[in-house]
């Protein structure tokens, strides 16, 4: 039976007869802090939760429709054939249906469903992410970046002031998760203090480096969330999907910001060998060797964002206690990586 804590719409979408097409039972529900994702077999339906975290605002139906449409449009760049349409969900009395005659009460993004085994995160966990595939991924991302847009407006997000604002917001939004002594406080005080102190110092002393990135047009309309869980290999093609659609500062970023997600995933798992192969191939394709100077800052930031996202789930009433425990452990690992990346980088400079 559907979980009574879930919205009635989601409960009905877990029923096979809700859909106008065949489904594979049982329908699977996956949740993040901002979305419900229903896997039906041939198709995936993704709904945005009515939440407002400041950096992300899906609080009204109009905004959720807008960002569904933005997500559909922006993901044409890296995974066009996976994204199909935005579908309205209507209601008559207590019954919901897809594109029905009743009042539209929600919107869902409809996508083609690929097997979970196609995810690079799944392949990596199973030891199937080979050196050749990592090199191919680097080439795919380099080609993606070469085609991404840049402009005066996009470059405006590459100033020290704009970049630092995102870092400062992360620290503000995670202050309530500091302590390191419970499920709800997965970050230690030392990690929080030292990570923030390092980034504060970096922004104050490396302004010439940030200006160089602007001058070289390395600030572009990137993916914004390019970790292994948002990349798949399916039908002999690598797809970069689920890019950031809800926040320009998260998408109008340094290309090394995108690269840092992959490095973060590999480093967290202790596979610096694959990380090195990936980076070597990427910089060979792009010629962006100077980007390695700023990379540790962004690896730390991406790890911190992953920790923050996991932390937000700790206060979601619809998430089970078991899932909260796993989320807290996951957040703690990312907070630690964010801290260690910067402290290790500093040690290398001293050495």
Average pLDDT over residues 225-247: 95
Per-residue pLDDT, 296: 96
Looking at CATH, the fold of the domain delimited by 118-350 is given as Aminoglycoside 3'-phosphotransferase; Chain: A, domain 2 (3.90.1200)
Name the CA radius of gyration of the chain, rounded.
21
What mean pLDDT, rounded, does the chain reach? 94
CB 253 within 8 A of CB 224: yes
CATH, range 8-113: 3.30.200
CB 175 within 8 A of CB 241: no
Q: What percent of the chain has pLDDT over 90?
A: 88
Per-residue pLDDT, 313: 85
Per-residue pLDDT, 60: 98
Per-residue pLDDT, 348: 64
pLDDT at 346 over 80: no
Average pLDDT over residues 22-29: 97
Average pLDDT over residues 7-27: 97
Here the tokens at position 210 are 């940030």
Average pLDDT over residues 222-248: 95
Per-residue pLDDT band at 315 (split at 50, 70, 90):
confident
pLDDT at 41 over 50: yes
Average pLDDT over residues 217-230: 96
Average pLDDT over residues 236-240: 96
pLDDT at 351 over 80: no
Burial 139-167 (b: 16+ CB within 10 A, else e): bbbbebbeebebeeebbebbebebbbebb
3-state secondary structure of 231: strand
Per-residue pLDDT, 1: 47
Per-residue pLDDT band at 328 (split at 50, 70, 90):
very high
At 193-211, the pLDDT tens digits run 999 999 999 999 999 999 9
Per-residue pLDDT, 61: 98
Enumerate the domain spans of the chain: 8-113, 118-350
User: Phi first, then psi: what are they for 22, rounded to 5°?
Assistant: -60, 150
3-state secondary structure of 221: strand
DSSP letters spanning 55-77: S-B--SHHHHHHHHHHHHHHTHH
At 62-107, the pLDDT tens digits run 999 999 999 999 999 999 999 999 999 999 999 999 999 899 999 9
Per-residue pLDDT, 2: 55
Output the CA–CA distances (angstroms, integers) from residue 286 to 112, 152, 261, in the order listed. Answer: 31, 22, 17
pLDDT at 285 over 90: yes
Residues written for the chain: 351
Per-residue pLDDT, 180: 86
CB atoms within 10 A of CB 322: 8
What's the half-sphere exposure (Cβ side, CA atoms, 13 Å) at 340? 12
CB 58 within 8 A of CB 49: yes
């Amino acid at each position: 039976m559907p979980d009574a804590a879930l919205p009635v719409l989601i409960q009905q979408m877990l029923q096979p007869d809700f859909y106008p097409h065949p489904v594979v039972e049982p329908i699977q529900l996956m949740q993040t802090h901002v979305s419900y994702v229903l896997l039906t077999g041939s198709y995936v339906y993704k709904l945005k939760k009515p939440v407002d975290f400041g950096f992300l605002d899906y609080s009204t139906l109009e905004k959720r429709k807008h960002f569904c449409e933005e997500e559909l449009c922006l993901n044409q760049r890296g995974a066009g054939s996976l994204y199909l349409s935005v579908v309205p969900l209507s209601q008559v009395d207590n019954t919901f249906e897809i594109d029905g005659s009743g009042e539209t009460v929600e919107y869902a993004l409809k996508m083609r469903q690929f097997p979970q085994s196609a995810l690079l995160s799944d392949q990596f966990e199973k030891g199937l992410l080979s050196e050749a595939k990592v090199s191919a991924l680097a080439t795919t991302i380099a080609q993606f970046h070469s085609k991404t847009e840049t402009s005066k407006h996009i470059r405006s997000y590459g100033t020290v002031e704009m970049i630092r604002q995102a870092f400062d917001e992360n620290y503000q939004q995670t202050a309530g998760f500091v302590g390191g002594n419970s499920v709800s406080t997965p970050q230690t005080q030392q990690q929080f203090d030292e990570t923030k102190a390092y980034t504060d110092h970096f922004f104050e002393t490396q302004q010439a480096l940030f200006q160089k990135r602007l001058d070289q047009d390395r600030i572009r309309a990137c993916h914004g969330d390019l970790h292994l869980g948002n990349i798949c290999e399916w039908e002999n093609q690598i797809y970069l999907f689920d890019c950031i659609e809800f926040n320009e500062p998260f998408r109008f970023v340094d290309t090394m910001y995108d690269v840092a997600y992959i490095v973060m995933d590999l480093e967290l798992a202790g596979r610096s060998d694959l990380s090195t192969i990936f980076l070597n191939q990427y910089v060979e394709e792009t010629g962006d060797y100077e980007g390695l100077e700023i990379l540790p800052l962004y690896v730390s930031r991406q790890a911190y964002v992953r920790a923050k996202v996991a932390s937000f789930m700790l206060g979601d009433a619809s998430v089970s206690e078991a899932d909260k425990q796993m989320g807290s452990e996951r957040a703690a690992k990312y907070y630690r990586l964010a801290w260690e990346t910067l402290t290790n980088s500093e040690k290398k400079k001293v050495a």
